[in-house]
A and B are shown apart, each in its own frame.
Chain A
Amino acid sequence: MHQKISFGLAITVSIVFGLTYLIIGCLEIISAILGLNIPLIPHDFMGGFVNITTATIYFFGIKELLNQDVRGIAFPFFGTIFGLGFSGLYLLIMLSSIATKTIIYNERLTTTILLEEIRIEILLLPILAIVLLWFRNHILRKFSY
């Protein structure tokens, strides 16, 4: 398959995101076991597992891309969708918690509440969305008919 896609860029993206998710995932698991309190990192064993899975998806792609195999692009592509899905889900949960606290229990909307509920994956959302759009426009178009 000789399609022209910028392998270099794809590999860089994979490495960056892969490492990011790996670090976040490990931190989440460690904080769940040891009970450490890190800002923006919840104590979430399963959440950490999910992030490490995402990291692994990105890393698998690097090997394929190094071999100049076009199908390698599937990994960062799916990894981004995956990460985006969870970020969206966490955002939804955050909104639901905030709504519960403010509307039902009538607490005031303060920054402390926001800080309690937020988690780091939500902050990644815009970056992931941009990367996905980039995939759509530059890579997938090359596969259309």
Chain B
Amino acid sequence: MSRKPSRKCPSNSKFCLICPLRFFRKIFPAKPARKIVIGVIGNPNVGKSTLFNELTGAKQYVANWPGKTVEKKEGIRFWKGCELHFVDLPGTYSLSASSLDELVSREFILNEKPDVIIDIVDASNLERHLYLFLELAEMGARIIIALNKIDIAKAKGIQIDVEKLSKLLGTPVISTVATRGEGISRLCDAIVGVALGTIKSNPVLVKYSEDVEEAIRLLEEKIRQKIEKHPSRWIAIRLLLKDRDVINLVSKVAPEIIKEAEKLTYRLEKKYGQPIETIIAEQKYRLIEKIVSETVKYVGHPILDITDLIDTVVLNKYLAIPIFISILWAIFLFTFDAATFLVEGIDFLFEILADFARNNIPNELIASLITDGIIAGLGSVLVFVPNIFFLFLAVSFLEDSGYFARAAFIFDRIMRKVGLHGKSVIPLILGLGCNVPAVMATRGIESEEDRLLTIAVAPLIPCSARFPVFILLAGIFFGKMAAIVMLSMYLLGFALAFLIALIVRKIFYKGRISPFIVEMPPYSRPSLKSISLHMWIRGSHFLKKAGGIIFLMSIIIWFLASMPPGVEFGGPESYAGIIGKSLEFLFKPLGFDWRIVTALIFGFVAKEVVIDSLGVLLGQNLEEVLPQILTPISAYALMVFVLIYTPCIATIATIRSETHSWKWTLFVVAYELILAYLLAFLIVFIGNLIF
């Protein structure tokens, strides 16, 4: 899906890689097609991703908006001799300058001037969605409305007069059911029609009340003289609305207009007694109400529907949290226990593979490279693949069903107290399985600050990779108290996450927290197709990032442990040993000897590797050897160190790709290292005082 689509492929075939036409086209290249650029926009939860996938098939390509942290999805479809180039714009409710998503969409529409904009609208909820439409209209875009979810509207007893709607709105309106792929061809026809000029798209402009129109007119005259690039009416309205971005733009060319706008706005606000945003929005909605009353009819009268029934229970004061905890438990059961068959299967296969390699490859060095390096490395990655995919499956299911919005709502109050957002609860919980999907799940958080903060503390949550380390050490050193020690690790992880969030918020963000609003979409039974698609997208993304890096690092580690040639594998003479020994002095106060240090260095790749390395460096009888080189206090300090010190490489890679900022990634790595060392030191220090 991230393969760049080829211009030469004439069809939307899913079998592009083996399509013979590609070869044919290399010899006889096709005529250059007319390129049409289409922006796809709509409210969140409207089915934009589904529609986008239907429109572009397998031919999508993910990048980022230059200079921004928002993902840019593009796709191509060939239709009637034209190359339809779709750009997925972030889902927003409006186009003000308040959030990064909105700015990105605005810049695209104004600067790149797409031929067509598809505004996806929810037929079962028309009023709210037309607000975005009116804002788009004011920007002067050529719009086509995709009236999606008409199946749900029909089920709710809503009947829409599509022709009349089209007439009143001034744009073509195409009804679609994205989940079934209905209406796609009509949509593409409309796109080509509007782009080539055969179909008219003149979106209706809101006519405001007289005094507002007067103000707009006054500004427009002055703007038209100075600014030609953008629609003057839109600029005038934005100036009245104190739009920061537009003010910046205009101040470079004609700052006096801004003062004029301020005066006019002040006058209007005084007259109406409302902030200017409300005045303008109210009048937009008045037009919307009028349009809706003429085109939408309610045939049935829903009394109570399943969503409300379920919410009565799920949002119940007392039941909400136990239900949440149960669902969490279900996710983990599904992720770990239900996948055992596949996990054991892969493990088994790899053992056979390793034995085979060991027995049949003559050259010892190469045999070692393959068995201890490649197979061991690959094995350690692939063995948790089923778990990861099951986790993504469960999460996709819950997310698509709509439960997460409710969970975020319930936990907002608690999260607020520690400086986090309600929507941070899902990423933090996911961190218990693996930190990578946790970081990826922060995409749902709108405010950049909250999102970065959540990403920064997510790695503190003990992931399943650290579990074996804890169990091993707790079992060896603490015997009967092992369970309590394990529990303390988990509690510590969460406690630290909350503490760091609180501190960062106080210091960097000066205690500001954005308020919490969440739209709760109706519960829907996610189709097998959509959840498997989501699972596949996330899973393969994870595999490529994590798998590639872990695999590479495994080879490097093998190399470090085996070289110089002839040396004992992982012994003090190997490069790995030399590195460990050289850093040993740093860790002496903690009670770690050079082999532990080396294991920790290797654990940088993936925390499970710590156990593996210890096994390699100390021999298989860890139960006997470890107590000889560690005291219980140091063991506990080691557990804490492993809990906190730097995220695993896969997580680091994910943080980097999600934040597009090396600065923040390095910050996270650095603070975790420092915190880990400090805490481990503290534990050893205080522990030695007490015991």
Contact = CB atoms under 8 A, between A and B. Distances in A.
Whether chains A and B associate is: yes
Interface stretch (A11-19, A91-99, A107-115, A126-134): A91-99
B337 interface: yes
Contact of A93 (B313, B316, B325, B337): B337
B314 interface: yes
A82 B305 CA distance: 18
A71 B612 CA distance: 56
Given A56-B319, A56-B322, A97-B340, A89 B312 contact: no
B313 A57 contact: yes
Contacts of B155: 145
Contacts of A70: 304
B337 A96 contact: yes
A143 B319 contact: no
B306 A140 contact: yes
Contacts of A60: 313, 316, 318-319
Given A78-B314, A96-B339, A99-B341, A73 B156 contact: no
A79 B345 CA distance: 35
Interface in B120-169: 155-157
A71 B344 CA distance: 46
Given A104-B345, A145-B156, A74 B322 contact: no
A145 B326 contact: no
A1 B312 contact: no
Interface in B316-359: 316, 318-319, 322-323, 325-326, 329-330, 333-334, 337-341, 344-345, 348
Q: Helix, strand, loop or mixed for chain A's interface? A: helix
Interface in A53-105: 53-54, 56-57, 60, 70-71, 73-75, 77-79, 82, 85-86, 89, 92-93, 96-97, 99-100, 103-104
Contact of A71 (B304, B306, B318): B304
B300 interface: yes
Contacts, number: 91
A106 to B, nearest CB: 11
A7 interface: no
A106 B331 CA distance: 29
B18 interface: no
Nearest to B394: A89
B312 A74 contact: yes
Contact of B303 (A50, A89, A92, A143): A143
Contacts of B325: 49, 53
A1 B339 CA distance: 46
A36 interface: no
B417 interface: no
Contacts of B344: 100, 104
A78 B310 contact: yes
A78 B309 contact: yes
A3 interface: yes
Nearest to B325: A49
B301 interface: yes
A95 B450 CA distance: 42
A137 to B, nearest CB: 14
A50 B326 contact: yes
A89 B333 CA distance: 8
Contact of B310 (A50, A54, A74, A96): A74
B304 A89 contact: no
B302 interface: yes
B329 A46 contact: yes
Contact of A86 (B301, B330, B339): B330
A46 B325 CA distance: 9
Contacts of B326: 49-50, 53-54, 82, 86
A68 B91 CA distance: 43
A103 B344 CA distance: 10
B341 A74 contact: no
Nearest to A93: B337
B30 to A, nearest CB: 49
Contacts of A97: 337, 340-341
Nearest to B336: A93
B525 to A, nearest CB: 11
Interface string B288-317: 000000000001111111101110111010
A96 B341 contact: yes
A55 to B, nearest CB: 11
Contact of B157 (A78, A93, A145): A145
A84 to B, nearest CB: 12
B340 A89 contact: no
Nearest to A96: B341
A89 to B, nearest CB: 6
A130 B300 CA distance: 29
B330 A73 contact: no
Interface of A: 1, 3, 46, 49-50, 53-54, 56-57, 60, 70-71, 73-75, 77-79, 82, 85-86, 89, 92-93, 96-97, 99-100, 103-104, 140, 143, 145
Given A53-B322, A56-B322, A96-B338, 7 more contacts: A46-B329, A77-B309, A97-B340, A97-B341, A104-B345, A104-B348, A145-B299
Interface of B: 155-157, 299-306, 308-310, 312-314, 316, 318-319, 322-323, 325-326, 329-330, 333-334, 337-341, 344-345, 348
16 contacts: A3-B303, A49-B326, A50-B326, A56-B322, A60-B313, A73-B309, A77-B309, A86-B330, A92-B338, A96-B337, A96-B341, A100-B344, A104-B345, A143-B303, A145-B300, A145-B301
The 7 closest A-B CB pairs, nearest first, are: A145-B300, A74-B309, A53-B322, A78-B313, A74-B312, A96-B341, A145-B157
